[in-house]
Amino acid sequence: MSEVIVITSGKGGVGKTTTTANIGTGLAYLGKKVVLIDTDIGLRNLDVVMGLENRIVYNLVDVVEGNCRVKQALIRDKRYPDLYLLPCAQTRDKSAVNPEQMKKLTMQLRDQFDYILLDCPAGIEQGFQNAIAGADRALVVTTPEVSAIRDADRILGLLHAYEIGRADLIINRLRDDMIKRGDMMSAADVVDILSADMIGCVYDDEAVVVSTNHGEPLVLGDSLAGRAYMNICHRILGEEVPFIDLEKQRSVWFRFTGLFQKSKGGQNV
């Protein structure tokens, strides 16, 4: 059974592309056949985050317009033979593709892949409509800021209206120090406000910038964000990975036992 997952957010710059790259790589590491589709026509970025920008020959618009076969446009990842990228056109705009065509394309790809991940552009216009057209479920990325949360709420409403079966939250760029001070909403606060299910929370991590600099997703490394993304991959596969209450970890007992657990990686995110 293949699954088409759209990664969306409404607001720009919250980490959709990073999330798509890392979840895609993580699922490929776990032995799944995965294709990542960049649907942000005119502002493509998934190729650079994946470090595959030099291999692009054909793109999504070429496929849809029939200039090439799907196979010709798919770029094989340099790390995993079962991970592919379908880049989008840089010199066209969102109207070059319509939702019907996207639906057809995802149907075609279902035969060959276990997971089809769509990196959605910011906004709720045609680019968004294209990206969600063929999706079975959605991952809504947000950060603990008012603007991102408001947009996420709007997106959740639209996904419901378009009858996307399931939408889960990924709360990105949490900062433990600010949450402790009371200057940032916690993951629990965001979940409460949006009343949606959370599939993962990712702490703000410098390693994300470093990995993007290299064009290597960090999901395979031992960074905090990398582990969080790997946990999300396991949850997508239906495995139960517990969220450890960070509040609890700060209690005296956990601080004490935490001294011995640090090497094991106490924070489960």
Partner 1 sequence: MNFRRLFHKKKSKDIARDRLKILLISDRLNCSPETMELIKKEIAQVLSRYIQIDPGRMEVEVSKRKINVFW
* Binding positions for partner 1, rule: CB under 8 A: 145-146, 149-150, 153-154, 157, 179, 181-186, 189, 193-195
**Shortest distance (Å) from residue 154 CB to partner 1:** 7
Specify the residue, 4 or 167, whose C-beta has the smaller distance to partner 1.
167
Cβ distance to partner 1 smaller for residue 79 or 150: 150
- Shortest Å distance, C-beta 158 to partner 1: 12
Helices (H), ranges, the chain = 16-29, 46-50, 60-65, 70-73, 99-110, 126-132, 146-161, 176-181, 187-194, 206-214, 224-236, 246-249, 252-261
Considering the complex, what minimum distance in angstroms separates the CB of residue 185 from partner 1?
5
The distance of closest approach from Cβ of residue 162 to partner 1 in the complex, given in angstroms and rounded to an integer, is 16
Token readout for 230 is 């790997």
Q: How far is the CB of 72 from partner 1 (least distance, A)?
A: 44
Cβ-Cβ contacts under 8 Å for 258 (sequence gap 6 or more): 249, 266
Say if residues 125 and 156 touch (Cβ distance below 8 Å).
Answer: no
CB of 196 to partner 1, least distance (A): 11
Choice between 175 and 234, CB closer to partner 1: 175
Alpha carbon separation from 186 to 7, 179, 227, 251 (Å, rounded): 22, 6, 19, 16
State which residue, 181 or 248, has the beta carbon closest to partner 1. Answer: 181
How far is Cα 59 from Cα 64, in angstroms, rounded to an integer? 9
Give 61 or 185: the residue with its C-beta nearer to partner 1.
Answer: 185
The 3 state secondary structure assigned to 68-124 is CCHHHHCEECCCCCCEEEECCCCCCCHHHCCHHHHHHHHHHHHCCCCEEEEECCCCC
- Kindly tell me which of 5 and 187 has the beta carbon lying closer to partner 1: 187
- Residue 248: Cβ within 10 Å count: 9
